[in-house]
Amino acid sequence: MLEAFEILTTSGVVLWSKAYAPVGAHVINSLINDVFIEEKVVPQNATAGGVSPAYKKEKYTLKWKRVKEFDLIFVAVYQSLLHLGWIDKLLENISTIFIDLYKDQVKGNRVRIQTYRFDQYFEQQVRELEDNTGGFVEEHVPETGEKKDPLVSSDNGGPPPPPVPGLVKAQPRAALAGATSDEGTPPATPEISRSSTPQGHLLTAKAGPGGRGSRRSRKAANSSANASSGDEVRKGKSAKTPVKKMRRWDASGMADEDDGEILDYSAPTEQGETAAPAVEAVSEDDWGRRTGKGQFVLKELGEEVQSILDQADAEKSKGTASSGVVGSGFNAIGGFFRNIVGGKVLTESDLEKPLKAMEDHLLKKNVAREAAVRLCEGVKREMIGKKTGNFQSTDAALHVAMESSLRKILTPTSSLDLLREINAVVAPTTKQQAPRPYVMSIVGVNGVGKSTNLSKICYFLLQNKYRVLIAACDTFRSGAVEQLRVHADRLKELSVRENAGDVEIYQKGYGKDAANVAKDAVDYAAANKFDVVLIDTAGRRHNDQRLMSSLEKFAKFANPDKIFMVGEALVGTDSVMQARNFNQAFGTGRNLDGFIISKCDTVGDMVGTLVSMVHATGIPIVFLGVGQHYGDLRGLSVPWAVSLLMK
Amino acid sequence: MSSQANWNSVTGIATLLFDGNLVAIAIAILFTFGVPIALHILFFQTVASPPSSNFLLLGPSGAGKTAFTTLLEAKSSLASNKSHSTHTSQQSTLVTVTLPPTVPTGSNRYRSVNDPSLKEAIRNPIKYRIKDTPGHGKLRASQGISELQTMSQSKDIKTRLRGVVFMVDTAALVDEATLRDTATYLHDVLLFLQKRAKNGSSSKRTTEVPVLVAANKQDLFTALPPGAVKQKLEAEIDRIRKSKTKGLLDASADTELEDEEEILGNDEQEAFSFKLLEHEVGVKVDVVGGAVKGDLQEEFGSGVRRWEEWVGMCL
């Protein structure tokens, strides 16, 4: 069952919502955060026709449809356990109806104050679609459809006669009352009429009073076989099986009077409306007057909704048809001028070429193909249907859009202030936390500059007067410990000269288990009142499962506050896989905390690796290595990176 | 009619116009009456729309910015008395809302108590515009700070910024991470305003943009009182200030020669406080409590009354 449905604007206001069960606001908020803003979750089949993308959060699955033109998002929430096939259709229909009904309001500036009386329309759609996909119903669709016409005519034959006492007795009073009030809601559309017959007990109950009405009218038409039909109805009411049986019978033989009546009983009003609206109108009116105003309104509603949907369909088909040969020549010329003057509504074909050029440009900047394609796709999705500004060419518009999406992808969700975090751990403000050393570890592929960047960070920390312990956990490659020792000695020398912090190296030689060494180092640091522990690890190939698997144990043992991965700016397409594999290597619940992109000085403006790495994982870039000296460590400046990439 | 009176020749047309022709009379009448009306519409409307006062709504995600905006909107429209529920915003919106007539405006102090325009205010409520921005970390730079930049620097009187409302979730501020995030954002905003004040004073006097720290969600049990919020934010900003001075340079710092990083509040020795900021730079910061949801009194939207008063004082 559907849990909730919401219609919201991109500015965050819920225009209309319907909740069948309480769903926390955080569910939809996380959808917005993860999918729309951070783009962490890339919708798989977003472009596939008719299928809305899905997003899973907690026990819910969310499907959404975004209408760019009006800045609206339609979200349906349902339990992941259920497979509701009709959600896509529902989103499609609801968005069409809503936009058609409230086109002017949504465009205007009073969008947010407006109250949208949309409940009826929604209820109608849900019921209709729910019924429509009721499993076994589908098979019988043609048969019931055939049957309809004769039934209807008999149905609307004349004024309803007084109810037969036996019939009324058959239906329990309570059920009847409940049904009449409900009755208002299932309005008549062809789909519902065709299939609603054997839905669950719920539906049968709802159809109850309708059945009564129809029976009456039918009786007026031919007053024979009254008693028998009454009996049939009673049976149908009490259990589902008789109804089913009746239907089968119906299919095999040709419309027996009795059979028709029974079918008629299950969903009479709906059938009447759709099949013969002209005749129906009279009886419906009649009926509506009896049961109350609601019914009458509902009938209109069903038709209205249907007409809206039909119209939309027609427009769609027209749209595809008209893009033929006739207008193409004129369009081409007009498009050419508009391209210069601006004010052109962009279509997919307009964007194809410039986007290809843009993609090539990004590839030249060393952005991995995967990331480039994704960026271009995102820009395309954003741009289609948009109007270019005055005197703005398509290329210029694209340029702006690409810049903003690059900026968006590179901007971290929360900026990292390393010093403040260290302070928070080393000297906590609250009493509950005991001070402990802040642990950072660095991982990466062989030869990307792990030890170098570690020393750079160390130098930076030393300047801020921290006591730093370097743990040499590369117990594998010969010379690794010695290399680190050289760094440590240099740094010690420097720190003494500059009157900065204090540095020491912790090493256990080669051949030991890195995770254990790291753990010991952290313990040692805690005992000796070090502020920060920097753990160097062995370089490993990201696609070597044997080496990568030891990282999980390492993360568990050393439990670092931050795990940074060093990536070369030189690496091209491989950066995506590197980032992804390292990000997954630490087991569930533990990810990388940031990237350090080394050797940025060697690539000039081809800093595409930045984008590729962030694209692959959604993890921000923390530092850039820009030279050979200890001081050549920089924070990421997004405008700088974007300007280099777009140059 | 003479034979010359036809539409074919120039002389013919001239003759027709000076004739007692009905068409000519109609055109003349239309012209004489139409032009003044057209001119009136053209000029009156551009002049008559008063310089609207803009306020910018900033703050981290989940503080209640959009909820506040919708509440104000619902309040200013007579029809609905219920504001919509809200979710995380992705785009900023500019809405025009009215100040309740009971809220005094800042310009009132120049008026006499018996000023008839005061009574007028009830019939003619003051309108102002408020811009709601998304507070998500990724969108802050592109939509929050840049919006602040364009609005505060625009010469156009229509888009000039009258004040910044910085929304804070007081119930979540107990959490260390949230506090850090909020303070960082506030620090950036204040730093920008400080820079602006400095640059402005050299060339020509620009009006200072006051900042209201709206301590939202006072209705919740876990909410900190405004005083504590102020204290916490000041302490955290002080910490940010310190670590900013020691932090790494940006990658862009190498390419462009920028003068040294500014420090918020100028004086590094003294601990940061909003008072110091006002004293040193002239950026006024007020911390006022309120609640968007959970009205304190029966009246609809009374929880934001004090913020509206602040807005009124800026007008």
Nearest CB to B176 within list A12, A112, A424:
A424
Instruction: Give the minimum alpha-carbon distance from B1 to chain A in angstroms, rounded to a whole number.
Output: 49
- The residues, ordered by sequence, that sit 6+ positions from A450 with a Cβ below 8 Å of its Cβ are A442, A443, A444, A536, A537, A539, A566
Whole-angstrom Cα distance, residue A596 to residue A565?
6
State the virtual CA torsion across B240, B242, B245, B247 in degrees, nearest 10. -60
Contacts of A141 (CB under 8 A, 6+ apart): A194, A195
Residue B38 burial (CB count, 10 A): 10
Confidence of residue A259 (pLDDT cuts 50, 70, 90): very low
Do strands A502-507 and A467-473 pair parallel, antiparallel, or not at all (unpaired)? parallel
- pLDDT of A61: 84
Q: Provide the CA A40 distance to its chain's centre, in angstroms.
A: 10
Confidence grade of residue A233 (pLDDT, cut at 50, 70, 90) = very low
Average pLDDT, chain B: 77
Closest Cα of chain B to A626: distance in Å?
8
CATH pick for A418-640 out of 3.40.50.300, 3.90.550.10, 3.60.20.10, 3.40.50.800: 3.40.50.300
Please say if the pLDDT value at position A145 is more than 70.
Answer: no
Identify the band that residue A487 occupies on the pLDDT scale cut at 50, 70 and 90: very high
Report pLDDT for A146.
Answer: 38
Percentage with pLDDT > 70 across chain A: 65
CB of B136 within 8 Å of a chain A CB? The answer is: yes
Touching A: B residues 23-52, CB under 8 Å: none
Q: Are B126 and B99 in contact (CB under 8 A)?
A: yes
What tens digit of pLDDT does each residue of A54-104 get?
Answer: 788 778 888 888 887 778 888 888 888 877 777 888 888 888 888 888 877
Give ∠ CA A295-A300-A303 in degrees, rounded to 5.
Answer: 130
Confidence of residue A12 (pLDDT cuts 50, 70, 90): confident
Confidence of residue A482 (pLDDT cuts 50, 70, 90): very high
Residue type at A72 in one-letter notation: L
Residues 6+ apart with CB under 8 A from B221: none
pLDDT band per the 50, 70, 90 thresholds, residue A564: very high
pLDDT digits (tens, 9 = 90+) for B167-218: 888 888 888 888 888 888 888 888 888 887 777 654 445 567 888 888 888 8
Strands A621-625 and A594-598, sheet pairing: parallel
pLDDT tens digit sequence for A575-606: 889 998 999 888 888 889 999 999 988 888 88
pLDDT band at A21 (very low <50, low <70, confident <90, very high): confident
A315-339 residue pLDDT tens: 766 655 444 455 556 666 666 666 6
**What is the tens place of the pLDDT at every residue in B266-275?**
666 677 888 8
How far is residue B159 CA from its own chain's centroid?
8
> In the predicted model, what is the mean pLDDT of residues B109-126?
69
The pLDDT of residue A60 is: 85
Distance separating alpha carbons of residues A567 and A610, to the nearest angstrom: 9
Predicted local distance difference test score (pLDDT) of residue A383:
82
Half-sphere exposure of A77 (CA within 13 A, CB side): 24
Chain A CB contacts of B248 below 8 Å: 460, 623, 633-635
Residue A507: φ, ψ to 5°: -145, 150
Per-residue confidence band for A200, with pLDDT thresholds at 50, 70 and 90: very low
ipTM score here? 0.73
pLDDT in the model for residue A530: 92
Query: For residues A110 and A95, what is the distance between their CA atoms, to the nearest angstrom?
Result: 19
- Break chain B into its structural domains and give their ranges: 10-45, 53-314
> What is the H or E stretch that residue A64 is in?
strand A60-67
Tell me, what's the pLDDT at A241? 41
pLDDT, residue A193, reads 41
Q: Please tell me what DSSP assigns to residue A618.
A: -
pLDDT at res. B1? 47
Length of chain B: 315
pLDDT category, B98, cuts 50, 70, 90?
Answer: confident
Write out the DSSP string of A272-310. Answer: HHHH-HHHHHHHHHHHHHHH-HHHHHHHHHHHHHHHHHH
- Does residue A289 have a pLDDT over 80? no
Hey, which residues 55-94 in chain B have their CB within 8 Å of chain A?
61-62, 66, 69-70, 73-74, 77, 79-80, 82, 84-93
More confident residue, A360 or B120: A360
Task: Give pLDDT, residue A339.
Answer: 62
Instruction: Indicate the pairing of strand A594-598 with strand A532-537.
Output: unpaired
In contact, A14 and A47? CB cutoff 8 Å? no
A641 class by beta-carbon count within 10 Å (0-12 exposed, 13-18 middle, 19+ buried)? buried
The fold adopted by the segment(s) A2-41+49-130 is Beta-Lactamase (3.30.450)
- Chain B residues with CB-CB distance to A13 below 8 A: 66, 70, 84, 86-87
pLDDT score for B207: 67
Retrieve residue A409's tokens. Answer: 């992808």
- Each domain of chain A, given as residue ranges in start order, spans 2-41+49-130, 344-410, 418-640
pLDDT score of A453: 93
**From A15-24, B49-58, B186-195, B263-272, the region with the lowest mean pLDDT:** B263-272
In contact, B217 and B223? CB cutoff 8 Å: yes
**Contact call for A32 and B243, based on CB within 8 A:** no
Note the pLDDT of residue A300: 62
Residue reference for tokens 């409306």: A273
Residue A452's pLDDT is 92
Q: Would you state the structure tokens that stand for residue B56, as one six-digit string? A: 């910018």
Share of chain B above pLDDT 70, in %: 76
d(C-alpha A53, C-alpha A466), whole Å:
49
Its CATH architecture, for the domain B53-314, is 3-Layer(aba) Sandwich (3.40)
B32/B304 Cα distance (integer angstroms)? 53
- Please write the tens of the pLDDT for every residue from B126-140: 788 888 888 888 888
Query: What is the maximum span of chain B, computed from C-alpha positions, in angstroms?
Result: 99
Most confidently modeled range among A265-269, A612-616, B276-280: A612-616
Contact B255/A at CB under 8 A: yes
Per-residue confidence (pLDDT) for residue B243, from 0 to 100 = 79
In terms of phi and psi (left: phi > 0; alpha: psi -120 to 50; beta: otherwise), the region of A214 is alpha
By the 8 A CB rule, do B127 and B97 touch? yes
DSSP characters for B145-178? IHHHHHHHH---TTS-EEEEEEEEETTTTTSHHH
Q: How far is CA A180 from the centre of its chain?
A: 39
Tell me the nearest-neighbour CA distance from A624 into chain B, angstroms.
7
- SS3 at position A199: coil
Stretch A112-120: mean pLDDT: 71
Average pLDDT over residues A519-548: 91
Task: Give the model's pLDDT for residue A212.
Answer: 46
Burial class (CB in 10 A: 0-12, 13-18, 19+), B46: exposed
Q: Which amino acid is present at A41?
A: V
Cross-strand pairs, A81 = none
The neighbour count for residue A256, using CB atoms within 10 Å, is 12
**A572 vs B113 pLDDT, higher one:** A572
Band (pLDDT 50/70/90 cuts) for residue A298 is low
Is the pLDDT confidence value at A450 over 80? yes
Confidence category of residue A518, pLDDT binned at 50, 70, 90: very high
How many Å lie between the alpha carbon of B22 and the closest alpha carbon of chain A?
A: 43
**Can you give the pLDDT at residue B118?**
65
Those residues with Cβ within 8 angstroms of residue A292's Cβ, 6 or more apart along the chain or in another chain: A184
Helices marked H in A498-617: 514-527, 545-558, 574-584, 608-617
